[in-house]
């Protein structure tokens, strides 16, 4: 399949899925490869035939929507954000949780892919913060719409390139080598729960101190969908809690109650002050 053919298909189809073409322009190869495999499964000769198939099989739009889930990730992605989270945000959230008598610090990782983000969070907590807050464990609920990547997250074994941004001590003490792969040690998997969930329709049923929603809601969906998802996010965020989005993302108009986190203004970290 030629790139121009895939681009034409995506520009035609994405708006019908409440997804903007602009969000997919740089990552389209991942989606185009999936569409090519799907076309072969359906025994269709070319991209025009797949478009015709979409026009005549309404249930295929759901399949195409699943193919558009972007699953690019690595540990410690966006180093400056993780440094700000560890130094400025997590300590305050932990103090707030302790003050209100919470049994744990609650965090959500939405669009978690193969688990790199939620596991980076547990590594940061265990290595940098847990000794300061004895008796306050971190609990992480991680969601994604793709079951295959969630299965890889539960296994928690990765190639070396996935770990290259981690601080060396975290990499050395957090993983054990298994052949060509590096597997996260059991104690860093504790407290992490993975769920298959589409944040357009639902979020885990609890209040969170911290929600990481990076390079997902405010990149791959249109403005009305973004606004609806933001309202759902805020309904699940503790007052004074933190929402983190992608550094190149922008909140939709009307994002009331969110203010840049002091000393972390450049990292797309917001405090919720309803």
pLDDT in tens, 132-149: 999 999 999 999 999 999
What is the value of pTM for the model shown?
0.94
Per-residue confidence (pLDDT) for residue 253, from 0 to 100: 84
Find all residues with CB under 8 Å of 208, minimum gap 6, and list them: 106, 107, 108, 141, 236, 237, 238, 241
Looking at the domain 79-272, which fold is it? Rossmann fold (3.40.50)
Q: Where are the domains of the chain?
A: 3-67, 79-272
pLDDT of residue 208: 98
Checking DSSP bridges between strand 237-244 and strand 192-196, what pairing results, if any? Answer: unpaired
Per-residue pLDDT reduced to its tens digit, 81-104:
999 999 999 999 999 999 999 999
Strand partners, 270: 243, 260
pLDDT in tens, 232-255: 999 999 999 999 999 999 999 878
Report the C-alpha gap between 31 and 66 in whole angstroms: 10
Contact of 54 with 44, CB cutoff 8 Å: no
Main-chain phi, psi angles of 13, to 5 degrees? -90, -35
């Amino acid at each position: 399949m030629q790139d121009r053919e895939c681009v034409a298909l995506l520009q035609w189809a994405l708006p019908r899925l409440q997804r903007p073409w602009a969000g997919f322009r740089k990552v389209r190869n991942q989606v185009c490869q999936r569409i090519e495999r799907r076309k072969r499964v359906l025994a269709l000769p070319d991209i025009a035939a797949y478009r015709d198939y979409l026009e005549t099989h309404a249930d295929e739009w759901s399949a195409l929507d699943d193919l558009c889930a972007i699953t690019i990730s690595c540990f410690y992605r966006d180093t400056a954000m993780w440094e700000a989270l560890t130094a400025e945000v997590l300590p305050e959230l932990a103090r707030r949780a302790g003050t209100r008598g919470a049994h744990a610090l609650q965090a959500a990782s939405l669009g978690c892919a193969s688990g790199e983000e939620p596991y980076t969070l547990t590594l940061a907590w265990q290595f940098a913060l847990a000794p300061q807050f004895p008796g306050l464990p971190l609990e992480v609920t991680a969601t994604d719409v793709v079951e295959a990547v969630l299965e890889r997250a539960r296994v928690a074994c990765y190639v070396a390139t996935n770990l290259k941004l981690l601080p060396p001590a975290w990499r050395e003490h957090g993983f054990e080598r298994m052949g060509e792969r590096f597997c996260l040690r059991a104690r860093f998997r504790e407290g992490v729960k993975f769920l298959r969930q589409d944040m357009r329709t639902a979020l885990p049923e609890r209040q969170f101190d911290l929600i990481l929603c990076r390079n997902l809601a405010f990149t791959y969906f249109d403005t009305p969908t973004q606004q609806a998802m933001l309202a759902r996010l805020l309904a699940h965020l503790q007052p004074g809690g933190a929402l983190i989005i992608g550094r190149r993302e922008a909140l939709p108009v009307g994002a009331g109650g969110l203010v840049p986190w002091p000393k972390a203004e450049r990292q797309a970290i917001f405090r919720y002050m309803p």
